[in-house]
Amino acid sequence: MAAEPSAASPAKPQKVWDGPTRLFHWLLVGLVAFSWWTAEEHLMTLHKASGLTIVGLVVFRIYWGFMGPDTARFTSFIKGPRAILSYASSLFKPAHQLAFGHNPLGALSVAAIILALVVQVSLGLFAMDTDGLESGPLARFVSYDMAETAGDLHEDAFNILLVLIGLHIAAIAFYLIVKRANLVGPMITGRRAHGGAGPEAGLATVPLWRFILGVVIAGGVVGLVILAGG
């Protein structure tokens, strides 16, 4: 006679984040900090290289927002006002569950940061300093005044980006302290202890060719910018 099963084994960790999304996240963290440091130290060759790498990352992330797995797709986490208010009102209720991927509130932060990065790197591509000694690769396609204005706005836009990053970090701290939910660990390992929303089996994979195509597109955009800059 078969032995009776013992207590149920704990549920396996649930896969939430794919590798490319996690790699984008941490590379971006490092490169934004590196870009700030190189600008402060006037290491403009390294600053330009860092900025071009961020261009590639942002292009890939936008592509991945349409072609990546479920939690990476914009349609899975960017919601309307009703869904945002509903999620916000449930935050302090006992039945509150962690979202599978970005929650509707967090999605606002993610979308705002991506948009701010698009503005930031776009301005940087056309920027020129007041002496005309340092310029972005596409500055020659606009007038001196426009390039100088782009340079000023490039600096101002970075402050807005810092505010958005600060709000993002504050939200992570809120979940850790108030909700006892570690959001950083899953962005490192890709998995979390099961207990939130989402499929039992976790995140479904996507074909490798989608990732390769995204890398090719991102690299192609950066290559075109470099060629255009001469």
Query: Domain segments of the chain: what residues?
Result: 14-195+206-229
3-state helix, strand, coil in the chain (%, to 5): 65, 5, 30
For the chain, counts of helices (H) and of strands (E): 8, 2
The whole-number pLDDT of residue 131 equals 67
Query: What tens-digit pLDDT sequence spans the chain (230 residues)?
Result: 444 444 444 567 889 999 999 999 999 999 999 999 999 999 999 999 999 999 999 999 999 999 999 999 999 999 999 989 988 888 888 878 888 899 998 899 999 999 999 999 999 999 998 666 788 999 999 999 999 999 999 999 999 999 999 999 999 999 999 988 899 999 999 998 866 677 877 899 999 999 999 999 999 999 999 999 87
CB burial of residue 133 (10 Å; 0-12, 13-18, 19+): exposed
The whole-number pLDDT of residue 8 equals 47
37-49 residues labelled b (16+ CB within 10 A) or e (exposed)? ebbeeeeeeebbe
The whole-number pLDDT of residue 176 equals 93
**CB contact at 8 A, 17 and 190:** yes
Is the domain spanning 14-195+206-229 CATH 3.30.43.10? The answer is: no
**CB contact at 8 A, 39 and 136:** no
The whole-number pLDDT of residue 3 equals 45
Q: pTM for the full model?
A: 0.90
Tokens of 159: 């402050």
